[in-house]
Every structure is written in structure tokens, then in C-alpha cells.
A = this chain, B = another copy of it.
């Protein structure tokens, strides 16, 4: 199995995300290691040692995906016996040519804390999501960008948190529970914010699996109960013309981006 090293002078998150995307196109397993904060020559020399040792051990040439600004530090890494792919600079030269502007390399570019306002917006959004999770507080819905509604455990909380952390979006969420089901209607504070509502639904078997893990062999996790709740909630979504998404086969990222697209909310990039 080939070994892959993501080497960065920062968190290596960019290298990981991008590297993962590129490698997922290959029908091979990879052993992957992230090596962040490689900011000086000493660290770079230690990493190069590790890379070369890995080659020696496995007999297979490692891949190194790197995002390093300092030339000297980078050259120590590219001097290793691995095949090195310069994630940072490969696109810089053609962009310099297009824009007629030279790049000014700096560290902590992407996942550092350059912009205090952006950072606060994300933290505020996370606090908002937590303060308005699970219907515990219904008085701050004016401040919401989106309000997610659905049955218990269909994915509302992870989605709210992801939207907050990744995009700084303020998302409240409200659960419809067993007692609501017989006469399912939108309560006043949701009606008042109708245009912000987004429904989540899920496959009944999947819901049953998830609930069984939370509260084994309860009424809550009963297959009939799950089907009943989902039928009722989907009826409500249709009657009230609330756009909704089935979360069953989608990741948190996909659900989040679909919601933003439907709501017409432009995502901030942090």
C-alpha cells in the first residue's frame, strides 16, 4: 500500500481535503498521515527522515502533498525520495500570469485567524445553533437564517452545527415529537418565520436503526412509530409547502449545501 503524507506549515487541512479528493479517484487503498506545522528547517529535516524511512520500509514510493510557503523549508521536503506534489504553488504561476500580479506568500493563510470578524461570525453562529437547538428556545427565531424542522434524530443538529462552523450561518432547529403527531400543525413562532423553514426527512428503516442505538427497544425506536412519525411530518411539509430534503443518503456537507442553494443563501468562505 502506498503511503501519503500531507505536509504543511499550517494545519494541513487544505492539503488533506484536496488530497483526499484527488486520491478518491484511484481504486487503491492509501495509508495517510497528516504532518502540520512544519515551519522550520529542523522540523522539515525530521519529516524528510520519516518519509525516506517509510519508503525504505515499504518499498513503495510515498506520495507527498505539500503546502509550504518558505522556499528553504519546502526544498528540504521536496528533496526527499517521495514523489512530491506542490499543492500550493502549482496554480500560483498561471494565476500570476493571468492577473499580472505576483503572489505574496504568507503562512496561516487559510485556517489561521487572520480575520477576527469572520472568526467571531462562526463562533457566534455555533453559539446560536446550540442556544436554539431542539426547540429549547423559540424566542430568537428572528435572528435565524434558517430553521430546520423534522422528527427526532433525522439530522437537524449535526446539520445546524456544520452550517454554523463551515459557513457562519445561523440555524435554529425544532423537533416534532410523538405528542405532536396526532394534530400536527406549525406552532406560532414557526408560522411567523415560515420563509426560513426547511424540513428534513429520512428513510424509516434508517431512523429506526439510529433510534435503536440511542434508546434500545423503546417505543421511540419502534419501526411502526418511526414510519408513523415520518408519514405525519411529510404530510405537514406538503400541506405547509415547506421545502424538504431526505437526508438518508447524503452527508452533512451535501445536506448543508443543498439547503443553502434552495434558500438562496450565499455561502461565506472562511
Q: Which residue of the partner chain B has the closest CB to A134?
A: B130
Number of contacting residues on A, CB 8 A? 76
* Any B CB within 8 A of the CB of A75: no
- How many copies of this chain sit in the oligomeric assembly? 2
- Per the bound structure, the CA–CA distance linking A165 and B255 in Å amounts to 14
A residues 99-118 near B (Cβ < 8 Å) are 99, 101, 103-106, 108-113
> Could you write out 9 A-B pairs with CB less than 8 Å apart?
A13-B166, A14-B20, A18-B18, A26-B104, A28-B99, A63-B95, A85-B91, A111-B253, A113-B254
Known contacts A24-B109, A110-B24, A112-B250, A2 near B91 by CB under 8 Å: no
Tell whether, in the assembled complex, residue B119 and residue A251 are in contact, meaning their CB atoms are under 8 Å apart: yes
* Any B CB within 8 A of the CB of A73: no
Shortest C-beta distance, A113 to chain B (Å), equals 4
Task: Scan A8-42; emit 1 where CB is below 8 A from any B CB, else 0.
Answer: 00111110111011111111100011101100000
Tell whether, in the assembled complex, residue B13 and residue A103 are in contact, meaning their CB atoms are under 8 Å apart: no
* Any B CB within 8 A of the CB of A90: yes
Contact of A25 among B103, B251, B267 (CB under 8 A): B103
Task: Scan A224-258; emit 1 where CB is below 8 A from any B CB, else 0.
Answer: 00000000000000000000000001111110111
Shortest C-beta distance, A135 to chain B (Å), equals 15
Tell whether, in the assembled complex, residue A104 and residue B27 are in contact, meaning their CB atoms are under 8 Å apart: yes
* Any B CB within 8 A of the CB of A141: no
